[in-house]
């Protein structure tokens, strides 16, 4: 178990529907990260941008990107996570994966497909909330539109860290800022959001606003708007335990079951 968890947030532009080029660019960015980092977080659909044309970019769980992630995680001795388009059982998924240096892998399929963009007509929605353990930290991975649905993120598992990856457009970025902070406060957990920058193939603009918040909703990163940047933040388990014990807010949460 590690009290401190060092997380690298990679806020970057993406090459539209070009997995090979995006792997190359992200490989270079990961190579610049100093030793001692535990976890690297990439944006949503990091191999393609937020495309509704999955047949052009979809891969399998033993495809080029997953094999690259496994190699990179082992080489750098760091866990790497982000989402990409996966084809499985004749369905397409917006799947968030986390590959650890050991080769152990966890995945989560985006629960809330973005109906405004027609994502629900192209991608199958996930049905399972996922909590995984890495270096003694309980981590909940979620994807973009999931951010708008607090019940799905509700911390009944006493997780330590909530991570969202996104292609969240500039036109609605105020909601992203407000909801990331709210998820940290209401769940008394660290909350990290990694969003892309630049223009996609549909000419939607993205302004980043990647951020990390502590359990009280204080921002602990310094990433600027619209910049291509990699920032390392240090999370401390003692801080979570201190404020949960002192304030006891999670003990007063309502008791109910989520029906699927």
> Mind listing the pLDDT tens digit for each residue in 163-183?
999 999 999 999 999 999 999
The two structure tokens encoding residue 248: 């006891």
Reported confidence tier of residue 44, pLDDT bands at 50, 70, 90: very high
> Mind listing the pLDDT tens digit for each residue in 188-247?
999 999 999 999 999 999 999 999 999 999 999 999 998 999 999 999 999 999 999 999
Strand partners, 193: 164, 211
Catalytic residues: 44, 110, 144
Asked if residues 167 and 195 have their Cβ atoms less than 8 Å apart, the reply is yes
The two structure tokens encoding residue 62: 């033993």
Residue 1 predicted with pLDDT over 70:
no
Closest CA to 110 of 143, 88, 148, 85: 143
Distance CA 237, CA 170 (A): 33
Taking the model in full, what pTM does it have? 0.97
Closest CA to 11 of 236, 235, 232: 232
Ordered by where they begin, the domains of the chain are 4-252 (3.60.110.10)
């Amino acid at each position: 178990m590690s009290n401190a968890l060092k997380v690298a947030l990679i806020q970057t532009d993406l090459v539209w529907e070009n997995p090979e080029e995006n792997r190359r660019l992200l490989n270079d960015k990961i190579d610049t990260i100093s030793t001692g980092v535990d976890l690297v977080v990439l944006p949503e659909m990091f191999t393609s941008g937020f495309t509704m044309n999955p047949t052009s970019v979809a891969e399998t769980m033993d495809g080029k990107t997953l094999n690259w992630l496994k190699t990179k995680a082992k080489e750098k001795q760091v866990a790497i996570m982000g989402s990409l388009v996966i084809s499985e059982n004749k369905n397409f998924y917006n799947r968030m994966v986390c590959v650890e240096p050991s080769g152990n892998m966890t995945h989560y399929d985006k629960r809330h497909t973005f109906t405004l963009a027609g994502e629900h007509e192209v991608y199958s929605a996930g049905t399972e909330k996922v909590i995984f353990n890495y270096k003694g930290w309980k981590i909940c991975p979620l994807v973009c539109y999931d951010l708008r649905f607090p019940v799905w993120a509700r911390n009944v598992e006493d997780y330590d860290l909530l991570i969202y990856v996104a292609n969240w457009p500039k036109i609605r970025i105020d909601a992203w800022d407000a909801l990331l902070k709210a998820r940290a406060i209401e769940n008394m957990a660290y909350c990290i959001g990694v969003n892309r920058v630049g223009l996609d193939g549909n000419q939607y603009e993205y302004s980043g606003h990647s951020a990390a918040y502590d359990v009280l909703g204080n921002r602990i990163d310094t990433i600027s708007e619209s910049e291509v940047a990699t920032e390392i933040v240090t999370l401390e388990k003692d801080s979570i335990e201190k404020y949960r014990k002192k304030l006891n807010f999670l003990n007063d949460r309502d008791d109910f079951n989520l029906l699927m």
